[in-house]
Amino acid sequence: MEIRFDSINVYMIEKSSGIFVGPNIQYGWRTQQKENVGLGKVIGEGNILTQNINVIHDEDMVDMPIKKEAAKESKKANGIGQGES
């Protein structure tokens, strides 16, 4: 994917990315992610993958526990959502 704005060229958008032009403010950006990859990346043209067996053994019951209170504290520290209950 390519997005072009005059002299701004973006060749790849990754997770938690943004393009901001002009006066703007971004508050409270947060991301949590987990990824298990059994094969990895296949790069190039004409690749042939045959008879593969890929196994991911992940014993975690919960990979990323996220507490809502922690998110509220982060918003409060950034001055977001004041006056909300």
* Residue 5, beta-bridge partner list: 8
Q: What is the mean pLDDT of the chain?
A: 77
Which tokens hold the place of 63?
């990979």
pLDDT band at 69 (very low <50, low <70, confident <90, very high): low
Average pLDDT over residues 60-64: 75
Query: Higher confidence at residue 19 or residue 85?
Result: 19
At 17-56, the pLDDT tens digits run 788 878 888 888 777 777 778 888 888 999 999 998 888 8
Distance CA 43, CA 46 (A): 9
- How much of the chain, in percent, has pLDDT values that exceed 90? 8
